[in-house]
Structure 1
């Protein structure tokens, strides 16, 4: 399953999200920085960090905990 974490530069919440993903045992994800991309900033600007499942297009908005991430990944 391919995952994307939408984030901003110098974002302490994004740093926390990374720690949660590690605690949840997420092996890999694609980081996408929205800074400077008008379309992504319009879509995610107030919601970041956002974890997205590329297979289902489902998104998990911050705040999330390790248990919520594991549940998010287990749903089909």
Structure 2
């Protein structure tokens, strides 16, 4: 995975591991968008390691300090995780 600059980290401090066509992933992205939380969507199908690690647990929101929030989560849990 390419390194992000500090500005990119500040603007998108979270990664959302997902895959296309996953309705739960779409729900998670909608929660993030509604809360105006910046994130970078990473399709786990593009990476064998990520597919093996997260294949049965997506969507997963990962912070830059390596904390992870696994689905299912709601707006309150998202707010607690992000501090937003």
For 2:42, the equivalent position in structure 1 comes to 32
The structure carrying a bigger helix percent of its residues is 2
Task: Measure, in 2, the Cα distance between the counterparts of 1:19 and 1:42.
Answer: 25
TM-score (norm 1): 0.87
- Please show how residues 1-76 of structure 1 align to structure 2 within 5 Å: 1=10, 2-26=13-37, 28-54=38-64, 56-74=65-83
Which structure has the bigger radius of gyration? 2
Could you tell me which runs of 5 or more consecutive residues in structure 1 were left unpaired when the two chains were aligned. none
Indicate the RMSD between aligned Cα atoms, in angstroms.
1.2
- Which protein has greater RCO, CA pairs closer than 8 Å, 6+ apart? 1
State whether residues 48 and 61 of structure 1, in contact with CA within 8 Å, keep that contact through their aligned partners in structure 2.
yes
Structure 2: 5+ residue stretches without partners:
1-9
Structure 1, residues 33-60: CA drift from partner, whole Å, max 9, x if none?
0114210011100010000001x10000
Aligned pairs, how many?
72
